[in-house]
Amino acid sequence: MSTTPVSPQTLAIDGGSPVRETLLPYGRQSVDEDDIQAVVEVLRSAWLTTGPKVGEFEEAFAQRVGAAHAVSFSSGTAALHGAAFAAGLKPGDEAITSPMTFAATANCVLYQGATPIFADVSPDTLNLDPERAAAKITSKTKAILPVDYAGHPADLDAFLEIAGRHGLVVIEDACHALGAEFRGRPVGAIADMTVFSFHPVKHLTTGEGGMVTTNNARLAETLRRFRNHGISSDARQRQSEGQWHYEMVLLGFNYRLTDIACALGLSQLKRLAPNLLRRREIATRYSAAFRDLPGIVPPSLRRETNPAWHLYPIRVDLAKLTADRGQVFRALRAENIGVNVHYIPVHRHPYYRDRFGYRGGEYPIAEDAYERLISLPMFHGMSDEDVQDVIAAVKKVMAAFAL
């Protein structure tokens, strides 16, 4: 029986051969032997938690981002909660944030009994738009939470200026932006509080983990207490001082990061610089390959920033394609390119719709972007062949769906 040969242009979703044999995820951690050794040493030591590695990691991290203080947390979400608490958010207060983010950014406001108020994003970066955010300020507003979407810093000077005028706290959600710079300054030393995540797809990982950096000693002390049940000293301090007495001075949580995790973080931090370099190289290669490719719009860069490239989100140009985002997404998946979508705008989640009555259409820029967004694989462990596979698959899919 003769079979018709399948053209290399035939999409895998239509029965063609995929660009690669195995699935390339959109993000993945890199753990090396030094990391493993660092963790094993802690496992053999006296302190698995609240030990010396916590302070060492915090100090090294603060130094890396140029902040006076760094307070570790058990996740980026816990760190956001800590920052919302330290900012003094309480029932009746409002905090303004972006709908184009992971739900945790807005959820931390709800944890404090306050209300998240969304403002639309700028069409180029998809970061919270300062003017639109300023237009939402009321007598109840206490904080603004810009998000460094995909690792591209928000317009921090504009937010600090607005916050200064209205007496607000700026909590920067930099969970995507470790290592990014804004006007030559490192993210982490600019806002009142900056929040990072160490989830495995991030620039460095502790499994789960997070950090808040600040230059304000009072905020740092509140953050430390909040992550330790609201207690004013920790177990190691009490042991070294040979005393048992402690005081719980506020209602906190157990949001501590273990010494095991901090040892991993310290070891990973040593490779942050090459990891960032690699992500920037990958972004440059993608952008060069896609600049003139009809059907997709690569991410925009503002001149005053040096992004950290947590994500590489393209937008499909629906006017130039015979397919919608869902079809492009499925076609890329079939080519074994592990694409993802960041983000379903927060106000479109059922919880937010039911609780606040959002119907859709409130934040048209974020909502329109959402219909077009696809995150391509972006992680520092990608090989040159992986990068080439992504470019080849995008070109193949775009050619098949070109109008």
Spatial neighbors of 115 by CB under 8 A, at least 6 apart, are 93, 94, 95, 109, 140
Cβ-count burial of 271 within 10 angstroms (0-12 exposed, 13-18 middle, 19+ buried)? middle
Task: Return the bridge partners of 196, or none.
Answer: 211
Six token digits for residue 11: 């999409």
| Min CB(246)–ligand PLP separation in Å | 28
Range 146-165, binding ligand PLP (CB under 6 A): 147
Q: By the 8 A CB rule, do 137 and 123 touch? A: no
> For ligand PLP, which residue of 27, 51, 76, 345 counts as binding (CB under 6 A)?
76
| Min CB(13)–ligand PLP separation in Å | 29
Q: By the 8 A CB rule, do 225 and 282 touch? A: no
172 lines the binding site for ligand PLP (CB under 6 A): no
Whichever of 57 and 102 has its CB closer to ligand PLP, that residue is 102
> For ligand PLP, which residue of 29, 49, 75, 268 counts as binding (CB under 6 A)?
75
Peptide bond into 343 cis (omega under 30): yes
Amino acid making up residue 123 = P
Whichever of 267 and 340 has its CB closer to ligand PLP, that residue is 340
CA–CA dist 385, 328 (Å, integer): 22
Whichever of 102 and 159 has its CB closer to ligand PLP, that residue is 102
Q: Which residue is associated with the tokens 């496992």?
A: 43
Q: By the 8 A CB rule, do 61 and 70 touch? A: yes
Amino acid making up residue 242 = G
Q: Which of 224, 281, 266, 203 is nearest to 42 (CA)?
A: 266
Whichever of 100 and 331 has its CB closer to ligand PLP, that residue is 100
Amino acid making up residue 161 = E
Whichever of 213 and 335 has its CB closer to ligand PLP, that residue is 213
Which residues are tagged catalytic? 202
Which stretch, 38-46, 75-83, 301-309, 387-395, contacts ligand PLP (CB under 6 A)? 75-83
> For ligand PLP, which residue of 81, 142, 152, 176 counts as binding (CB under 6 A)?
176
| Min CB(45)–ligand PLP separation in Å | 25
Whichever of 105 and 222 has its CB closer to ligand PLP, that residue is 105
> For ligand PLP, which residue of 49, 50, 77, 340 counts as binding (CB under 6 A)?
77
| Min CB(392)–ligand PLP separation in Å | 28
Whichever of 50 and 105 has its CB closer to ligand PLP, that residue is 105
Range 299-318, binding ligand PLP (CB under 6 A): none
Q: Binders of ligand PLP: how many residues, by CB under 6 A?
A: 15
Check residue 248 and report its DSSP letter.
Answer: B
Six token digits for residue 324: 């919608």
| Min CB(395)–ligand PLP separation in Å | 29
Q: By the 8 A CB rule, do 152 and 180 touch? A: yes
Q: By the 8 A CB rule, do 156 and 146 touch? A: yes
| Min CB(102)–ligand PLP separation in Å | 4
Six token digits for residue 135: 């237009």
| Min CB(80)–ligand PLP separation in Å | 6
CA–CA dist 402, 47 (Å, integer): 59
268 lines the binding site for ligand PLP (CB under 6 A): no
73 lines the binding site for ligand PLP (CB under 6 A): no
CA–CA dist 157, 164 (Å, integer): 10
Query: Which string of x and - marks every residue 87-116 that binds ligand PLP (by CB under 6 A)?
Result: --------------xx-xx-----------
Spatial neighbors of 284 by CB under 8 A, at least 6 apart, are none
Q: Which residue is nearest to ligand PLP (CB)?
A: 76
CA dihedral 22, 23, 28, 32 (to 10 degrees): -10
| Min CB(131)–ligand PLP separation in Å | 22
173 lines the binding site for ligand PLP (CB under 6 A): yes
197 lines the binding site for ligand PLP (CB under 6 A): yes
Give φ, ψ of 358 to 5 degrees: -65, 140
Give ∠ CA 304-310-315 in degrees, rounded to 5. 80
What's the farthest any 2 CA atoms get from each other in the chain?
86
> For ligand PLP, which residue of 53, 64, 152, 199 counts as binding (CB under 6 A)?
199
267 lines the binding site for ligand PLP (CB under 6 A): no
Please report, as ranges, the residues that interact with ligand PLP according to CB under 6 A. Answer: 75-77, 80, 101-102, 104-105, 147, 173, 175-176, 197, 199, 210
